[in-house]
Chains A and B, each alone.
Chain A
Amino acid sequence: EAGVAQSPRYKIIEKRQSVAFWCNPISGHATLYWYQQILGQGPKLLIQFQNNGVVDDSQLPKDRFSAERLKGVDSTLKIQPAKLEDSAVYLCASSMEYEQYFGPGTRLTVT
């Protein structure tokens, strides 16, 4: 069974630039999550989708972050404009029930 795929794996941008991350969940998993993991901390939920609907985006900084999940499969997370404090690993996870499967993450460095 293929795991959760994410791309790119690494991205370096300057502040005020925009960036987008892509996630392809495990086939058949209805729930998709985006987490932000700052160095030395645990992952923090940004947004949760159930199929193509948003379940929870209460911790998403909506002035600069946006996410979509078209057709209930792939998802894209965008940051525009990026700030220095957005430097982190962005993790995508998917689940069918309680167990979440994580992708390898995208490491973002904002300079």
Chain B
Amino acid sequence: GDSVTQMEGPVTLSEEAFLTINCTYTATGYPSLFWYVQYPGEGLQLLLKATKADDKGSNKGFEATYRKETTSFHLEKGSVQVSDSAVYFCALSGIAGRRALTFGSGTRLQVQP
């Protein structure tokens, strides 16, 4: 079945550091890929998405590129802020009309001032 693997956290960075959170997936066909973010005390929010190979999703300075050849969708940001501290989830949405999300286990990011 479909699965998503992302790097374990917590990831602790200083403000303005470069962020990479790795995500790889296993799926049949051509899934859509997503990054969701969960800020402390808040619900899950869509951060960015990519629906086909080589697409780049971007939002709030975060980027991720759908790499079919490496089955990856790594999340990057050039300069993190304290306000980026949250849990980040990589997810995929399957094919054939099944749009339920399969999530990774989440990566907690802590940004220190």
Task: Judge: A and B partners, yes or no.
Answer: yes
Nearest-Cβ distance from residue B32 to partner chain A, whole angstroms: 6
- A45 to B4 CA separation, bound complex (whole angstroms): 14
Is residue B89 contacting chain A, with contact meaning CB distance below 8 A?
yes
Q: Count of chain A residues with Cβ under 8 Å from any Cβ of B?
A: 23
CB-CB nearest in chain A for B106: A42
Cβ-defined contact, A42 with B103, below 8 A: yes
Residue from the list B42, B46, B51, B100 in contact with A45, Cβ < 8 A: B100
Interface string of A9-31 (1 = CB under 8 A from B): 00000000000000000000001
Cβ-defined contact, A99 with B49, below 8 A: yes
Q: Count of chain B residues with Cβ under 8 Å from any Cβ of A?
A: 23
Is residue A48 contacting chain B, with contact meaning CB distance below 8 A?
yes
Cβ-defined contact, B103 with A44, below 8 A: yes
Residue from the list B89, B93, B102 in contact with A98, Cβ < 8 A: B93
CB-CB nearest in chain B for A59: B100
Is residue B99 contacting chain A, with contact meaning CB distance below 8 A?
yes
Nearest-Cβ distance from residue B28 to partner chain A, whole angstroms: 15
- CB-based closest 10 A-B pairs: A42-B103, A102-B44, A45-B100, A104-B43, A102-B43, A48-B100, A42-B105, A43-B103, A42-B104, A42-B89
Q: CB within 8 Å of B: which residues of A? A: 31, 33, 35, 40-45, 48, 55-56, 91, 93, 95, 98-105
